[in-house]
Every structure is written in C-alpha cells, then in structure tokens.
Chains A and B, each alone.
Chain A
Amino acid sequence: MLKFYFDLMSQPSRALYIFLKVTKIPVEFVKIDLKKAEHLTDEFKAVNRFQKVPCIVDGDFQLSESVAIFRYLIETRNGVAENWYPKELKTRALVDEFLEYQHNAVRLPCAMYFQTKFLIPIFSGKPVNEERVRSFKKQMENSLDALENIWLQSTEKEFLATKEISFADVLAACELEQPKMAGYNTFEGRPKLTKWYERVKEVTNPYYDEAHVIVNKVIQKNKSKL
C-alpha cells in the first residue's frame, strides 16, 4: 500500500492529509515527528532525499512536493471525484495557476512570518527579530490582500479557481492557518476570505478540523498569553 509520510505541523502535510481522508484513497499514514527531528534521521533520508514532509513511497517509487504528489495520486488512483482537479483543459489550468502561484506568493510570506515570529524564537531561545517580522508581515498582508481582492473577486466562482472546491482551496486554507499560531488572524477584516474559508471547512469536515487539532491547540495557547 502507498505510504504517506506527514506531520500535522506542516501545512502541505495537512492539505494532503485532508485530501486523502475526504477522497478515501487507500494509503498507510506514517507520522514523522518534526519536533523530535525524526526527518533528519538516516532512516528517513532513505525515504526522502530532501528530508522533508510530506512525501510518499509507492512500491519503490519515492516522491516529494505536495503538489506533485497530488497530481500523481489523481493520475494513478481511480474513483477520485473530478472537482479536486478538473479534467476540462481550461478549468484545470486555472487550478494549476493557483497551485503554482501559492509557493512564493502565499506559502513563503505566511511561513516566514510564522517562523520568525514564533518557531525560531522558541527553538533558538533568542529574542524575536522585530525587523524581519515586520518585513514578512508586510509581504504576508500583501499576499492576503491579493487573495481577498483578486483571487476571490469574482462572483462567478465560489472557490479560488472554479465553482467547485479543488485542491487549491485545501492547500491555501492550510497555509493561512500557520500565521494564526503566531497570533495573526489571517481572516480578520477580510470578508470574502472568511466566507471562502467557512465553505472550505464545510466541504472537508470533519477531516479539516481533525488535521488542525494540534494547530488549534497552539492558537488557543497563544491567545491566552496575550
């Protein structure tokens, strides 16, 4: 059976986890504990040469990169509902457009804000680098504005790329949860984004909430500190 290696602290891990649970594609879920540096063991290096999650092993075929894994699953597994990656040429291209856009435009600023404000200070014990946090916060806010004002501008479609939910929406929502752990509410003051987020959760629950149990705990913990 296909092995799916993941850690729910990792945004793309969560996205694939949710997708696999919703579509019920048969896989073996293998947890890799990033906190315990399990991804840096020689054993795991033999699974993924880049020492990251998520990744899969299908027989003797190894693959990393969540979007590449997603496409491989669509290509090789039967019975997956078409909305996740439409077959029609142009609709598919619009989903692809977001899947390519999100790396540098969404993931990077959200992840870097989270890392500089929350993760790195915790692991290094050093104080927060305020200048870097400010810079990434600005980039992140530009990114969120683009989601609110460009991607979700059209009344013709309910989701990021098309009328039905696709993997683009699951991936985006997972990326937008990350800064919340650092105390920044990515949805506040952005009504279209908020509405879209509720729709994504509605379609993918209970698996969305299941994937975000740890994240929600961290968010709550940080809220009580403020």
Chain B
Amino acid sequence: MKFYFDLLSQPSRALYIFLKVTKTPVEFVKIDLKRLEHLTNEFKAVNRFQKVPCIVDNGFKLSESVAIFRYLMQSNPNISENWYPKDAKSRALVDEFLEYQHIGVRYPCAIYFQTKWLLPTFSGKPPNEKKVREYENLMIKSLDTFENIWLASDQKEFLATKEISFADILACCELEQPRMADFDTFKDRPRLKKWHEKVKKETNPYYDEAHKNVYDIIQSKGKLSSKFDLVFIYRYLRYIKFKKFFE
C-alpha cells in the first residue's frame, strides 16, 4: 500500500502518526505541496482530487483521511482496538467527533491559517485584516466548544472515550496549524492543554517527528529562513499562474 502525504497538511500528519504508532506496513510517498507536486498530471492519476493524503492499495485508490483511516482499520485486524472501538456506542462517539471536526474544527483553524499565514507568505501580499479577525472569532468559538463541551466530562480522558482514538490525533494535528500563524490554540484553555500533552505522550516520538517542520515555523514566529524566502519568491511567480487553486 502506498501512502501519499505532505507533513504541511494536517490530515496527512494525523495518518502519518497513526501509521507509525500502529506500525502498519505502508510505503510512505512524500508529495511536495510547496513545489505544487499535487497539481501535476502524474499525481492527478493517483488522486483525481489532487490532494493529500491519499492511498493506493494494489490499484485501489482512496482519498479523505477519515475514510482512509476506516479502511485501514477494516483491512488490518491486528491494529489495536482503542483507535476505533468495536463496541457500537463507543465507536459511534468516535464517529461523532470524526464527522463534527470537518466543519467544527478543521474549517475555522485552516481558513484562519490560510488567510493569516499561507496566502500572504505565498503571494507576498499582506493579509486581509478584516477577514483575519472574522476567522479568528470563528476559530475562538470552535476552541471554546472544544474546551467546554468535548472535554467537559471527567468520565473520559480523551475526546470520545477513556482511551486515545484516531479522533484525538486528528484533532491535535488540526490545532497545531494556527500556531504557525502565531496563534496559540492551547493558551488559557487548561483542559485542551492537558489533553494535548496526553495525546503527545501516547503517540511520541512519532507526533514530534510529524511536526518537525511545523515546530520550526512556530519557533520562528511564522518567519521563514532566507533560503525559504528565495524559494517563495519563485513560488509567487508560479502562484500567479495557479492562483485559481488557492481561492
């Protein structure tokens, strides 16, 4: 099985960590989003949606991280049950988060990150301040729901159940993204912070491995090294050409 990914992509990181922790045998194939490798015809033949992550399992192509996760659980019966419990109700609670997170977590965090950091870095233009504020408010609402509803219960240590599941990995990866735009998603949210530490503890060293580049960008407060800058000037010229893919 081939697993196509880029560690700049949150769901790519989530599956990467899951595959490494569970030692599921796959071939890791890096697709460089910065080099627009996902927009080549060659990659289009791998994933018609031209996105990462995706898999190809002996000719069977599949996109969407959560769908890929379920497929992996079904086709690898040796994987430890906590990642996706077999009990109908526990499984439903994990599903509840996996479905909720698309619009409830991913969307606000990703759009904030794109508006504040990704697009300006790529294009060289300053961020749209009005939009940044709007998306920041949306993201804050999402984080409050996380802190006050998802993590409200003393009965469970993790998002859905007592043990860590894929929901927890996916959520953490999404919450790292805004940090690259200098917004600390865990600040002043004690439950969120505690849970984040627990998730890292359960999945390290793979969590840190997956987030190496992310940590570098967070450290430099969103600023990139001069080597990167030259690369991005080049990208800007290509960005104008491929602008429609970023709208």
Contact = CB atoms under 8 A, between A and B. Distances in A.
B92 A104 contact: no
Contacts of A71: 91-92, 95
Given A90-B60, A93-B62, A93-B70, A72 B92 contact: yes
Interface string B132-158: 000000000000010001001000000
Contact of B88 (A65, A67, A72, A103): A72
Interface residues of A, number: 31
Contacts of B152: 49
B102 A72 contact: no
A101 B47 CA distance: 13
Interface in A76-99: 76, 89-90, 92-94, 96-97, 99
A120 interface: no
B164 to A, nearest CB: 19
B247 A138 contact: yes
Contact of B95 (A50, A65, A92): A65
B99 interface: yes
Nearest to A51: B149
A23 to B, nearest CB: 17
- The A interface, classified by DSSP as helix, strand, loop or mixed, is helix
Nearest to B153: A49
Contact of B64 (A96, A107, A138): A96
A180 B207 CA distance: 44
B61 to A, nearest CB: 9
A68 B99 contact: yes
Nearest to A104: B102
B38 to A, nearest CB: 15
A63 interface: yes
Interface in B50-98: 60, 62-68, 70-71, 74-75, 88-89, 91-93, 95-96, 98
Interface in A97-130: 97, 99-101, 103-104, 107-108
Contact of A103 (B71, B102, B149): B102
Contacts of A93: 60, 62, 67-68, 70-71, 74
Nearest to B107: A104
B66 A96 contact: yes
In which size bucket is the chain B interface?
20 to 34
B65 to A, nearest CB: 8
B45 interface: no
Contacts of B145: 50
Contact of B63 (A89, A101, A104, A107): A101
B88 A101 contact: no
Given A90-B60, A96-B66, A104 B106 contact: yes
B242 interface: no
B221 interface: no
A97 B67 contact: yes
A99 B67 contact: yes
Interface string A139-159: 000000010001000000000
A64 interface: yes
A150 B50 CA distance: 11
B107 A108 contact: yes
Nearest to B110: A104
A67 B95 CA distance: 8
Contacts of B60: 90, 93
B99 A89 contact: no
Contacts of B65: 100
Contacts of A150: 48-49
B149 A50 contact: yes
Interface of B: 48-49, 60, 62-68, 70-71, 74-75, 88-89, 91-93, 95-96, 98-100, 102-103, 106-107, 145, 149, 152, 247
Identify the 5 closest CB pairs spanning chains A and B, nearest first. A103-B102, A68-B95, A96-B67, A100-B64, A65-B99
Given A67-B99, A71-B91, A93-B67, 15 more contacts: A50-B149, A61-B92, A72-B92, A75-B92, A76-B88, A89-B71, A89-B75, A96-B66, A97-B62, A97-B63, A97-B67, A101-B49, A103-B103, A104-B103, A108-B107
20 contacts: A50-B100, A50-B145, A50-B149, A63-B92, A65-B100, A71-B95, A72-B92, A75-B91, A75-B92, A90-B71, A92-B70, A92-B74, A93-B60, A93-B67, A93-B70, A96-B64, A103-B99, A104-B106, A107-B103, A150-B49
